[in-house]
Amino acid sequence: MKEYIFRIHPGMDLKREIEKRVNQENIKAGCILSIVGSLKQANLRLADGKTEKKMVENFEIVSATGTVSIKGCHIHLGLARKKGIVIGGHLKENSFINTTAEIVILEFENLEFSRELDKSTGYKELIIKEK
C-alpha cells in the first residue's frame, strides 16, 4: 500500500483535482481515507440517483469516502451547513474549494479497479481485479 497526501487550494474544483492527482500518480486502485476542508460551492447528486443539487454557500467537509482509479472515481461527501445541518451525496464537478481541502488517498498496489455498466442498476459499477 502507498499513501498520497495533498492539499487543494481555494477556487479549485474538488473532484477534478482529485481525478487529476489520481491520473498523475497512475493510481489503478485506491480509496479516499479523508478529506478535510471547506467548499464555497457544492454540486452533489442526491440519493434518488437523478437529482443534482448545486448549492452556493460555505460548507465544512465533515466526511468523505470513495474509490479512485485512473478508470474512474466514485466519491461521496457529507457537508455541514452554517447551522450544522448536514447534507450528503455523490460528488460532482463544479464543487469549489473555499479555504482548503486536505486529501488522503490510500493506493492498493496489488489491485486494479475499473467500472462497467451494470444493467440492474443503470450505473457503471466497480470491478476489482488482482494484478
pLDDT attached to residue 131: 86
Task: Tell me the CATH number at 114.
Answer: 3.30.1330.80
pTM attached to this predicted model: 0.94
Cα–Cα distance between 22 and 68 in angstroms, integer? 7
How crowded is residue 42: how many other Cβ atoms within 10 Å of its Cβ? 25
Domain total for the chain?
1
Alpha carbons 123 and 104: distance in angstroms, whole number = 26
Residue ranges making up the domain that contains 12: 2-130
Q: How confident is the model over 70-98, as a mean pLDDT?
A: 97
Whether the Cβ atoms of residue 107 and residue 68 lie closer than 8 Å to each other: no
In tens, the pLDDT along 42-80 reads 999 999 989 999 999 999 999 999 999 999 999 999 999
